[in-house]
Chain A
Amino acid sequence: MKQRLVVIGAGMASGRVLEHLTDSAPDAFDITLFNAEPRGNYNRIMLSPVLSGEKSYEEIVTHDDAWYAERGIACRFGEKVEKIDREMKVVEGANGHVPYDKLVVATGSNPFIIPLPGHDLEGVIAYRDLEDTQQMMDMGPDNKVVVIGGGLLGLEAAAGMAAHGVDVTVVHIMGHLMERQLDEAAGYLLKKSLEDKGIKICLQANSKEILGRSGKVRALLLDDGTELPCDLLVMAVGIRPNTALAQDTGLAIGRGIHVDDQMLTSDPDIYAVGECVEHNGEVFGLVAPLYDQAKVAGQAILDEEASFVQKSLSTKLKVTGCDLFSAGDFADGPGREDIVFRDPSRGVYKRLVIEEDCLIGAVMYGDTADGSWFFGLIKDGTNIDEMRETLIFGPAYQGGDTADPLSAVAALPPEAEICGCNGVCKGDIVEAISAGAGDLGAVRASTKASASCGTCTGLVEQLLQVTLGDGFEMPTTQSICGCTDLTHEDVRRLIKGQELKSQAAVWQELGWNTPNGCHVCRPAINYYLLADWPLAYQDDPQSRFVNERKHANIQKDGTFSVVPRMWGGITTPEELRAIADAADKYDVPTVKVTGGQRIDLLGVKGEDLPLIWSDLNKAGLVSGHAYSKGLRTVKTCVGTDHCRFGTQDSTGLGIKLEKTLWGSWTPHKLKLAVSGCPRNCAEATCKDIGVVCVDSGYQISIGGAAGMDVKETETLCQVSTEDEAIEVVMAVTQAYREGGKYLDRLYKWLGKVGMDWVKAQVVDDLQNRDALVARFELSQSIYRKDPWAEHVREKAQTYGPIADFTLEAAE
């Protein structure tokens, strides 16, 4: 008698098992196939092209009725298996029992549904099968859809619906899309392409609740209060192996059904394949390993030798126009090295991860042509030491005798485009050089190459070198740091010109050669972005020096100093008492009066910072920003309040200025002073901005310094009212914020732009002054706040250790 084989689940994995079995041993088994879905095996991964309209369902059917009939397979489609009785060796379907000799469990996985309030409303679906796909296809241009999850499935769902004109918003909890397959740079490019397709994308967005109306979904509520209206909500946040049947029948399971290398479960007559299994601690979500499993299971069932080995995987996203590729491993491990290549004009990003002379991971965006070649190197563990220098250029450049970047440039064909902005190819440039253009400037003038975004400058220089040989000396430019060839000025200009609003955008569009910058460029870029895009860009504490990240000054022994703000240098007995109490309570070893008329508590332990701040906050004291590249202090004299020479209320103006400017970030620290008469007791003429009061008004001068350089301020203007003085100070500060190079004090900026330019901007052109003031105010609407209170409220725990083993009793 023929053996009886029962298969549970007609999916992609079991489909392959059946192909192997019926090909190699057509008569070995009587086969019964159950499937909960009311149809046979189709190519599930092609549901996305069906959704977008690029394919029809008929085109993606893998096994049709005729296929099953030819092989004599008894199909029980639309019938769910309820139970496996291992003692009796029968499978219980909804419509009756079937006995088995061998059983294959291939139940796939279940989409994970976040148990948000409202998840059971009508119109909340997953993306797994044809029914889900159909519901999405029913949406049209009048509909709004929210997709939770910015992974592979969520994005394919979003793009598929957007192709039908549906208004789609993707809500993703992480900082960039597809974070498991892509790094930040590739994630940024992907987001950009999807946004070009009209898809809205909310990153770092936490879903809070699904709102409904008469039992049907109406909107998604985020925890920041945003409401995203929708007619359909698709959750694509992950899958869980479908192990319910196996568990009920007592098979060994972990995250999935445990199988050995032969795909055998803990029962010698039951095999399992596909997303429902767990092999060596791993579960699966892509078809490539499932096909390997299916082959092994097919052979094992026929008693042939075979074992399943896990291999590295590659991913592509099936969205037209979003060319991405990711393969191998990006997780942590010692001894890894990155090679990064970016071509901003074409939106290309490539990153290779190398360990011990082997390629172990690759991410690519925009140009994935070499993906399979890299994937081959990863899978085969090829030693790449010989071609390391040119590896990133792909197979086309390998095999030459010398491996150096110049030869890669030399190898480019004449029609290769060098300057994307101006469409200049290698041939044009070489011709210009041969005709006498001997340096970068001359090439720029004659061909326009590198004259726009400037990112091909390096390539042009390499061409000069290749063409002229020793006749060309590579220039040393003042780039920000080793991560880029661009200068601060270039970067500031490009951030504005190209509207770059995130660090990832800067790194990509401006061709950074490191994954995420270094300690030199990160603080600068962070500053430029927050100064230029106060609303769109969110300050990144991790790109700040410790002092600005922790809102206190680090001392040489790793303790911190704490300086509360005293507006205009004025304080009260209550404040002094609170400071004294705090000094006692936190064992502050040194209490010092600063040059800026504040009190400095030196030697506070990092862990105590939120505690001492909280105490000081209670007395009304806020951060003095004594650590920031931003407004520090406004020093004042006592002016008309007490001094017999006083001409104006210098203290009052100082306090007003400080209340206007505090919290603002500037390229370097910014110190102000207001003196009540030209005797200048507040030393206003060696500050970044100084005001000296006179009978007829206020003299404003800028660009002083009293540090390593000592400089007297230069007169900017005289104004007659306090309000106008405040406006001029705001406008100058904003002009410096917008134009200054990071870490240039105001006097250095002034030296570059010149006093005449500043006067034209803030004194003569009143309209422009108003605009500067308005932009400053806009930025201050975000930054004029006490960071201490905020950290006490939201981040206090991060000041302590994540774990403390000194608290445990010693062994």
Chain B
Amino acid sequence: MSWIDIGHIDEVPLRGARLVKTHIGCIAVFRTAETEVYAATNSCPHKGGPLSEGIVHGQSVTCPLHNWVFDLNTGEAQDADEGRINTYPVRLEDGRILLDDSAVTRRSAA
């Protein structure tokens, strides 16, 4: 695994998200707590809603279009809804957000 520095934690609002654009689609980086980040596909499996625009609560995000809720740990839709978003390894080091490079390169597109 190799890690790519995508920015500083302070650039992502607390309980908010920012986008990372890649050749294989957009990834949303969520900040769920002061020093806690998650990364997942930006696109909602329901009708493609932009998850980075959703409300972030606990370790979940609510899609802004029709309120599906996804657990950012597993990517699973909660409650009655069925669907899953891809999640990607991400970590924090001295305030820098490091994203696993498989998330941004074509190799993992398969």
Query: Would A332 and B36 count as touching, CB distance under 8 A?
Result: yes
Q: Per a CB cutoff under 8 Å, which of A517, A554, A798 touches B65? A: A554
**Would you give the shortest CB distance from B49 to chain A, in whole angstroms?**
7
Please, how many residues of chain B have a CB less than 8 angstroms from a CB on the other chain? Answer: 51
Residue-wise interface mask of B (63-74) relative to A, using a CB-CB cutoff of 8 A (1 in contact, 0 not)? 011010100011
Specify which chain B residues have a CB less than 8 angstroms from the CB of A179 in the assembled complex.
34-35
Q: Per a CB cutoff under 8 Å, which of A330, A556, A798, A806 touches B33? A: A330
Best-buried of A338, A549, A803 by chain B (most CB within 10 Å): A803
- Interface of B: prevailing SS: strand
Does residue A550 face the partner (Cβ distance < 8 Å to B)? Answer: yes
Q: Per a CB cutoff under 8 Å, which of A332, A549, A556, A811 touches B32? A: A332
Residue-wise interface mask of B (51-71) relative to A, using a CB-CB cutoff of 8 A (1 in contact, 0 not)? 001111111101011010100
Within 8 A of B (CB), among A689-734: none
Residue-wise interface mask of A (307-345) relative to B, using a CB-CB cutoff of 8 A (1 in contact, 0 not)? 000000000000000000000001111111010000000
Within 8 A of B (CB), among A572-629: 606
For A540, give the chain B residue with the smallest CB separation: B15
Does residue A751 face the partner (Cβ distance < 8 Å to B)? Answer: no
Does residue A174 face the partner (Cβ distance < 8 Å to B)? Answer: yes
* Docked pose: A89 CA to B64 CA in angstroms: 67
Query: Would A801 and B18 count as touching, CB distance under 8 A?
Result: yes
Q: Per a CB cutoff under 8 Å, which of A335, A522, A804, A806 touches B57? A: A522
Query: Would B57 and A556 count as touching, CB distance under 8 A?
Result: no
Query: Would A804 and B20 count as touching, CB distance under 8 A?
Result: yes
* Docked pose: A806 CA to B38 CA in angstroms: 21
Specify which chain B residues have a CB less than 8 angstroms from the CB of A175 in the assembled complex.
14, 34
Query: Would A542 and B18 count as touching, CB distance under 8 A?
Result: no
Query: Would B34 and A519 count as touching, CB distance under 8 A?
Result: no
**Would you give the shortest CB distance from A26 to chain B, in whole angstroms?**
44
Specify which chain B residues have a CB less than 8 angstroms from the CB of A176 in the assembled complex.
34
Q: Per a CB cutoff under 8 Å, which of B18, B55, B67 touches A798? A: B18
Specify which chain A residues have a CB less than 8 angstroms from the CB of B87 in the assembled complex.
334
* Docked pose: A544 CA to B7 CA in angstroms: 24
* Docked pose: A543 CA to B57 CA in angstroms: 9
Q: Per a CB cutoff under 8 Å, which of A338, A549, A802, A805 touches B104? A: A805
Query: Would A543 and B92 count as touching, CB distance under 8 A?
Result: no
Query: Would B54 and A805 count as touching, CB distance under 8 A?
Result: no
* Docked pose: A334 CA to B34 CA in angstroms: 17
Specify which chain A residues have a CB less than 8 angstroms from the CB of B62 in the assembled complex.
518-519
For A335, give the chain B residue with the smallest CB separation: B73
* Docked pose: A801 CA to B26 CA in angstroms: 9
* Docked pose: A257 CA to B34 CA in angstroms: 29
Best-buried of A174, A338, A516, A544 by chain B (most CB within 10 Å): A516
* Docked pose: A183 CA to B35 CA in angstroms: 10
Best-buried of A336, A801, A802 by chain B (most CB within 10 Å): A802
* Docked pose: A556 CA to B53 CA in angstroms: 13
Query: Would A802 and B34 count as touching, CB distance under 8 A?
Result: no
* Docked pose: A174 CA to B74 CA in angstroms: 29
Query: Would B33 and A546 count as touching, CB distance under 8 A?
Result: no
Within 8 A of A (CB), among B79-110: 87, 90-92, 97, 99, 104-106
Specify which chain A residues have a CB less than 8 angstroms from the CB of B16 in the assembled complex.
541-542
Query: Would A183 and B33 count as touching, CB distance under 8 A?
Result: yes
Specify which chain B residues have a CB less than 8 angstroms from the CB of A522 in the assembled complex.
55, 57
For B53, give the chain A residue with the smallest CB separation: A546
Given known pairs A523-B55, A542-B13, A545-B64, the reply for A802 and B18 (CB within 8 Å) is: yes
Specify which chain B residues have a CB less than 8 angstroms from the CB of A331 in the assembled complex.
35-36, 92
Specify which chain A residues have a CB less than 8 angstroms from the CB of B99 in the assembled complex.
803
Given known pairs A515-B58, A516-B57, A806-B21, the reply for A336 and B73 (CB within 8 Å) is: yes
**Would you give the shortest CB distance from A255 to chain B, in whole angstroms?**
9
Query: Would A514 and B73 count as touching, CB distance under 8 A?
Result: no
Query: Would B64 and A332 count as touching, CB distance under 8 A?
Result: no
Does residue B29 face the partner (Cβ distance < 8 Å to A)? Answer: yes
Query: Would A519 and B20 count as touching, CB distance under 8 A?
Result: no
Given known pairs A334-B73, A803-B20, A806-B21, the reply for A542 and B38 (CB within 8 Å) is: no
* Docked pose: A262 CA to B33 CA in angstroms: 36
Specify which chain B residues have a CB less than 8 angstroms from the CB of A330 in the assembled complex.
33, 35-36
Query: Would A805 and B22 count as touching, CB distance under 8 A?
Result: yes
Query: Would B64 and A338 count as touching, CB distance under 8 A?
Result: no
* Docked pose: A806 CA to B69 CA in angstroms: 29
For A807, give the chain B residue with the smallest CB separation: B21
Specify which chain B residues have a CB less than 8 angstroms from the CB of A754 in the assembled complex.
none
Within 8 A of A (CB), among B27-43: 29, 32-38
Does residue A69 face the partner (Cβ distance < 8 Å to B)? Answer: no
**Would you give the shortest CB distance from B57 to chain A, in whole angstroms?**
5
Given known pairs A545-B64, A546-B64, A802-B12, the reply for A558 and B6 (CB within 8 Å) is: no
* Docked pose: A549 CA to B26 CA in angstroms: 20
**Would you give the shortest CB distance from B98 to chain A, in whole angstroms?**
11
Does residue B45 face the partner (Cβ distance < 8 Å to A)? Answer: no
Residue-wise interface mask of A (768-811) relative to B, using a CB-CB cutoff of 8 A (1 in contact, 0 not)? 00000000000000000000000000000010111111100011
Does residue A55 face the partner (Cβ distance < 8 Å to B)? Answer: no
Query: Would B13 and A541 count as touching, CB distance under 8 A?
Result: yes
* Docked pose: A523 CA to B57 CA in angstroms: 11
Does residue A679 face the partner (Cβ distance < 8 Å to B)? Answer: no
Query: Would B6 and A542 count as touching, CB distance under 8 A?
Result: no
Query: Would A798 and B13 count as touching, CB distance under 8 A?
Result: yes
Where the two chains meet, the residues of B that have a C-beta atom closer than 8 Å to any C-beta of A are 6-7, 11-16, 18-23, 26, 29, 32-38, 47-50, 53-60, 62, 64-65, 67, 69, 73-74, 87, 90-92, 97, 99, 104-106
The 28 sampled A-B contact pairs (Cβ below 8 Å) are A176-B34, A180-B35, A183-B34, A330-B35, A332-B36, A332-B37, A332-B91, A332-B92, A333-B73, A334-B73, A335-B74, A338-B58, A515-B58, A516-B57, A517-B57, A519-B67, A522-B55, A544-B55, A554-B64, A557-B48, A606-B53, A798-B18, A802-B11, A802-B97, A804-B20, A804-B21, A805-B22, A805-B23
Query: Can you add 8 more A-B contacts, CB < 8 Å, to A179-B34, A335-B73, A805-B21?
Result: A331-B35, A332-B92, A334-B73, A338-B59, A516-B57, A522-B55, A803-B21, A811-B106
